[in-house]
Chains A and B, each alone.
Chain A
Amino acid sequence: GQQVMQIPQYQHVQEGEDFTTYCNSSTTLSNIQWYKQRPGGHPVFLIQLVKSGEVKKQKRLTFQFGEAKKNSSLHITATQTTDVGTYFCANPGGKLIFGQGTELSVKP
């Protein structure tokens, strides 16, 4: 399966600051999925991006798929303490291959 790399590994922000995590692949992806895992929890599906250049929003979360379909990003505007967790991108090519994740901590 195609590996996806995520940066940064950790991000500590003050509540109200923005947060972005990036996902990169060396090869073209057919689509990409994003998951959130709260501390001690299980991965929860957030969204799937399929089209080149696609942008999708879920309230304060904005997901982008690059034009070349080799990278993706998740941006959270004005973080809240409920955003704490690890955000994974994943390549769903028949089996879901997760990136290493970005662990977000939010200081109130």
Chain B
Amino acid sequence: EPEVTQTPSHQVTQMGQEVILRCVPISNHLYFYWYRQILGQKVEFLVSFYNNEISEKSEIFDDQFSVERPDGSNFTLKIRSTKLEDSAMYFCASSGGSANYGYTFGSGTRLTVV
């Protein structure tokens, strides 16, 4: 069964450092998303991406965050200057259509900011 692949599985970074989280969505999917989940809490929407641009973003997705699809297969989330409160599990997801398809999630990257 097709999978969404995320790397790395764990990332520890110093506060103020930049991190890039990487995702390879399912190849024929058109919509891409980043979500985060702080330990013990619900899954929160960060950003959606379609046709090489951001289609929607949440309040969490401020100027410190950016997304890119640099080469037609990878989908990256960059956090420019990490804060302690950015520590969370970050999930990438993709879907074949905007509202009528189940989303396929990757296994996540656990980001720890120290």
The total number of A-B Cβ pairs within 8 Å is 57
Q: Judging by beta carbons under 8 Å apart, are B107 and A88 in contact? A: no
Contacts of A80 in B (CB 8 A): none
Bound-state Cα–Cα, A95 to B97, Å = 11
Contact B43 A94 (CB under 8 A): no
Q: Does the CB pair A92–B99 fall under 8 Å?
A: yes
In the bound complex, what is the Cα–Cα distance between A40 and B106 (angstroms)?
Answer: 12
Q: Complex Cα distance A97/B56, Å?
A: 12
CA distance A34 to B44 in the complex (A): 15
- Among candidates A1, A42, A92, A99, residue contacting B42 with C-beta atoms closer than 8 Å: A99
Check if A101 is an interface residue, CB within 8 A of chain B: yes
> Could you say which of B33, B56, B98, B108 contacts A42, with CB atoms under 8 Å apart?
B108
Contact between A94 and B48, CB atoms less than 8 A apart: yes
* B91 lies within 8 A of A94 (CB): no
**9-residue interface stretch from A17-25, A43-51, A71-79:** A43-51
CB distance from B2 to the nearest CB of A (A): 12
List residues 81-97 of chain A with CB under 8 A from any CB of chain B: 88, 92-97
B48/A42 in contact, CB under 8 A: no
**Residues of chain B from 61 to 114 with CB closer than 8 A to chain A in the complex:** 91, 93, 98-108
| Residues of chain A having any CB pair with chain B under 8 Å | 1, 30-31, 33, 37, 41-45, 47-48, 50, 88, 92-101
Give the interface of B toward A (CB within 8 A): 33, 35, 42-45, 48, 55-56, 58, 91, 93, 98-108
